[in-house]
Amino acid sequence: MTTHRVEAPAGVQGGVSRRDDVRSLRIPILAMVLLAVVAPFVIYPVFLMKMLCFALFACAFNLLIGYVGLLSFGHALFFGAAGYLAGHAAKVWGLPFELAVLTGTATAALLGLVVGGLAIRSQGIYFSMITLALAQMFFFYCLRAQFTGGEDGIQAIPRGKLLGLVSLDNNLTMYFVVLAIFLFGFFFILRVIHSPFGQVMKAVRENEPRAVSLGYKADHYKLITFVLSAGLSGLAGGTKSIVFQLASLTDVHWGTSGEVILMVLLGGLGTVFGPIVGAVVIICVESYLAGLGGWVTVVQGALFVVCVLAFRRGIIGELSRVLHRPL
């Protein structure tokens, strides 16, 4: 049997380089974890939990667009659907926190399999528009469905207890649970992108015809990555709905899909820390400039324009270029 090998993009070829890349990330990762552990004692934990949920959402979306090159305009479908299912499971079915979040995550992954199976057959803008159309169909379903609560959403979702022992009503306790979920998602994505599977993902992104000619089924890799991205987005959405005890139409709205795209582009497309930085910047802008009302959107647009004109690689992308090390 002949084994084929796909050349990955420059800078990521070979097992030695991949290990070196991971080693170079150890100090930034350690700094991030230490900062996250100390942060709730200085900043309001609920605000930080919102950052972590959207940071995980952005990392999941970056896995799709940054490493396979697929631009989805409908990723809010998975984020919001998981929120609704997790909220419904916790409030109506009485499931504990961990099972409610897993229910939302599994639902998002299943939807990802369906949506991905339909959309991946198309290329470019057609793929993006199919994801947007399906997401909008789901938005209007949620608007009319009885179990979603319509415009009111699912309110007063109980946080419950972790493993039936630890009450999650305390914000500090809830924060560290959310941090653990975020770190799980972050390290899972890190493992994927630095695995042989991740190298094929990048090869498909860089030159799909060449990857296909070497025997790799590009559509299969795309679909698997799409499902992983959808599932991790669902993990973020399900966690958020229980943290804020609310699942609403906002989470399945097309604006949320646009917001996560902005986070990834602002932070740095195809970087490890870019989506996290982008999520932090956007959430801070929304929160601290909330008094401006509709002008917040104008500020976000201005940030995007500055990003495109001044640093097209994004904040972390430019920093990585200056430091000559992957971030």
| Structural domain includes residue 136 | yes
| Structural domain includes residue 84 | yes
What pLDDT is stored for residue 22 in this prediction? 67
| Structural domain includes residue 303 | no
CA–CA distance, 87 with 75 (Å, rounded to integer): 19
What pLDDT is stored for residue 113 in this prediction? 94
| Structural domain includes residue 142 | yes
What pLDDT is stored for residue 320 in this prediction? 77
CA–CA distance, 40 with 177 (Å, rounded to integer): 12
What pLDDT is stored for residue 3 in this prediction? 40
| Structural domain includes residue 265 | no
Work out the number of other CB atoms within 10 angstroms of the CB of residue 268: 29
What pLDDT is stored for residue 135 in this prediction? 92
What pLDDT is stored for residue 293 in this prediction? 67
Work out the number of other CB atoms within 10 angstroms of the CB of residue 209: 9
List of the chain residues with pLDDT < 50 = 1-16
What pLDDT is stored for residue 6 in this prediction? 39
CA–CA distance, 124 with 297 (Å, rounded to integer): 27
CA–CA distance, 50 with 296 (Å, rounded to integer): 18
Q: Closest Cα partner for 138 from 49, 230, 259?
A: 230
Integer CA distances (angstroms), 286 to 98, 229, 305, in order: 29, 25, 17
Is the CB of residue 267 less than 8 Å from the CB of residue 316? yes
What pLDDT is stored for residue 4 in this prediction? 42
What pLDDT is stored for residue 54 in this prediction? 94
Helix intervals (H) in the chain: 14-24, 26-38, 45-65, 76-91, 97-119, 124-144, 171-193, 196-206, 208-213, 218-243, 254-267, 274-288, 295-310, 314-323
What pLDDT is stored for residue 309 in this prediction? 76
What pLDDT is stored for residue 190 in this prediction? 92
| Structural domain includes residue 179 | yes
What pLDDT is stored for residue 294 in this prediction? 67
**Beta strands at 161-162 and 166-167: parallel, antiparallel or unpaired:** antiparallel
**Residue 268 DSSP class:** -
| Structural domain includes residue 63 | yes
Residues in the chain: 327
| Structural domain includes residue 292 | no
User: How many separate domains does the chain show?
Assistant: 1
CA–CA distance, 102 with 89 (Å, rounded to integer): 10
- Domain carrying residue 187: 14-253
**Residue 41 DSSP class:** G
Give this prediction's pTM. 0.88
CA–CA distance, 180 with 99 (Å, rounded to integer): 16
